[in-house]
Amino acid sequence: MAIKRVLTYGEPSLREPSKEVHKVSKKISDLIRDLFDTMYSQNGVGLAAPQIGVNLRVFVIDASTKEEPLEPMVFINPKIIKKSGAIKSNEGCLSFPEAYSDVVRYKDVMIKAINEHGKPFVMEVKGGNLLARAIQHENDHLDGILFIDHCLNRFETEEVLKKYNLPDIDPEKLLDESELKEQI
Ligand code: ZN
pLDDT in tens, 103-161: 999 999 999 999 999 999 999 999 989 999 999 999 999 999 999 999 999 999 999 99
**138 a catalytic residue:** yes
Q: Which of 34, 45, 55 is nearest to 141 (CA)?
A: 55
Cβ atoms < 10 Å from Cβ of 44: 21
pLDDT 10s digits, 55-96: 999 999 999 988 888 999 999 999 999 999 999 999 999 999
Identify the active-site residue in 138, 158, 172, 179: 138
In a domain, residue 7? The reply is: no
Residue 159: inside a domain, yes or no?
A: yes
Q: Residue 66 is part of which domain span? A: 12-181
Q: How many Å lie between the centroid of ligand 1 and the Cα of residue 52?
A: 11
- CA atoms of 181 and 184, how far apart (whole Å): 6
Q: What's the total number of domains in the chain?
A: 1
In a domain, residue 121? The reply is: yes
The Å distance, Cα 146 to ligand 1 centre, comes to: 7
Q: Does 87 map to a domain?
A: yes
**Span from the CA of 33 to the centroid of ligand 1 (angstroms):** 18
Cα–chain center distance at 60: 9
- Decide the pairing of beta strands 58-61 and 73-84: antiparallel
Residue 6 within any structural domain of the chain:
no
CB-based contacts of 182, cutoff 8 Å, min separation 6: none
Calculate mean pLDDT across residues 17-40.
98
Model pTM?
A: 0.95
CATH code where residue 163 lies: 3.90.45.10
Does residue 116 lie within any of the structural domains?
yes
The pLDDT score that the predictor gives to residue 67 is: 85
- Decide if 149 is inside a domain: yes
